[in-house]
Amino acid sequence: MNPPPMREWADFTTETGEGGATVVALSGPLTVSSIGPVDRKLRAFAGPVARVDLSEVSAIDTVGAWTAWRVARDHDAEITGASDEALRLIAAVSKSRGTADIAPPRPDLVERVPERVGDLVIGWGRGSVGITAFLGAMLISSWYLIRHPSKFRGKAFVRQVELVAVSALGIIGLMSFLVGIVIAQQGAVQLRQFGAEIYTINLTGRLALRELGVLMTAIMVAGRSGSAFAAQIGTMKLTEEVDAMRTIGVSPIEALVIPRVLAAAIMMPFLGFYAAVIAIIGGAFLSNFTLEIPFLTFLARIQEVVPMYDIWVGLVKAPFFGLIIALAGCYQGMQVKANAEEVGLRTTMAVVQAIFMVIVLDAFFAVFFTNVGWG
């Protein structure tokens, strides 16, 4: 098998003509695929030019004609040795003159900042209206499914439960175990200064069950499942599968959104509790070696020092976190249009929005539970 021929590149040489004038002799193919290197050299060439010689040019297109004409124009030179085709192209491109700037002038700082802030505020407003409308459409579809249970897609729901929860047990368990080790280790270092290392058990248990277990799980689910929701639905939008579903009378909200939202909202409490338990086990594992607190003693002490309402705080927050994550992922997926680049953009937006709203909601719950006496 013969190797493919090597690409021929355009080039130029300079020589001194009559009367000491500089002649730029272009050679090779002056085409868009081969003119790149010589174009950069010509732009950097600063000497005066009297003539541009095209007699050695083997092929030319509009890009090459523009390059030759630009050199002649910038140096007030004449073009010689051009073929009939080259002359026609040069005559055509020489008429394409523009007086506008390549880029519009940049506004002043005092104008740019308010404009950017205004765009963000308008974007937030439109996004709030859009996601409210999306939530309303989901509630309407949910009410329809409640009245017609046979329409509910049970297999799709079970599949999403597997993807959201069962498949995530490994990574969430590993993360929670390491987080528990970090909490116990850092807590022991600080409490050792006051001779209160035994309270590492209180710190690990309450922090894991009340806050970090469900919060870290929500962040992991947002990055894992929320992004998957946005990418899957966005790709279906891009390939017009969602439009095809509407054409045959299938509601995309019922078929795609509700199973995902239900799976995330229902499974988040289980995942949050699982993560908290694994984090406590991680803290007990570290304490067994560094604090000389036996593993089983650590676990038994947890039952004494952690109030029951700490468990309920984590379990109450979890479904709301799952709902926000699934809503953000499905909503952003439904907004995909135009091109594949938007799939990646909307996926990123889904993860960022979900994590941001989860943290905001967690702060709200912290204030709320403190006011109701569960602080």
pLDDT in tens, 246-289: 999 889 999 999 999 999 999 999 999 999 999 999 999 988 88
- Contact indicator for 38, 8 with CB cutoff of 8 Å: no
Nearest 5°: the CA angle 128, 131, 134 is: 150
pLDDT at 1 over 70: no
Alpha-helical regions (H) of the chain? 36-44, 62-75, 84-93, 109-147, 154-164, 169-192, 200-207, 213-221, 227-238, 241-247, 252, 258-290, 295-305, 308-334, 341-371
DSSP run (H or E) holding 26: strand 22-30
Instruction: Check residue 3 and give its pLDDT.
Output: 47
pLDDT at 205 over 80: yes
CA 99 to chain centre: 39
pLDDT at 175 over 90: yes
Average pLDDT on 62-88 reads 85
| DSSP, residue by residue, 240-302 | THHHHHHHTT--HIIIIIHHHHHHHHHHHHHHHHHHHHHHHHHHHHHHHHHT---HHHHHHHH
Instruction: Check residue 17 and give its pLDDT.
Output: 65
Instruction: Check residue 199 and give its pLDDT.
Output: 86
Alpha-helical regions (H) of 193-240? 200-207, 213-221, 227-238
- Site of tokens 């995530």: 168
Instruction: Check residue 298 and give its pLDDT.
Output: 87
Instruction: Check residue 96 and give its pLDDT.
Output: 73
By the 10 Å C-beta count (0-12 exposed, 13-18 middle, 19+ buried), 20 is classed as: exposed
Instruction: Check residue 228 and give its pLDDT.
Output: 94
- Contact indicator for 253, 350 with CB cutoff of 8 Å: no
Q: How confident is the model at residue 355 (pLDDT cuts 50, 70, 90)?
A: very high
Phi, psi of 52 (to 5 degrees): -115, 115
- Contact indicator for 347, 231 with CB cutoff of 8 Å: yes
* pLDDT higher at 36 or 246: 246
Integer angstrom CA distances of residue 223 from 18, 124, 238, 269, 364: 71, 22, 22, 17, 22
Instruction: Check residue 317 and give its pLDDT.
Output: 92
Amino acid at 316: V
**Euclidean distance between CA atoms 294 and 285, whole angstroms:** 9
Percent of the chain whose predicted confidence (pLDDT) is above 90: 41
* pLDDT higher at 59 or 122: 122
pLDDT at 28 over 50: yes
pLDDT at 4 over 50: no
Q: How confident is the model at residue 83 (pLDDT cuts 50, 70, 90)?
A: confident
pLDDT at 235 over 60: yes
User: What domains lie within the chain, and their CATH numbers?
Assistant: 11-93 (3.30.750.24), 137-371 (no CATH)
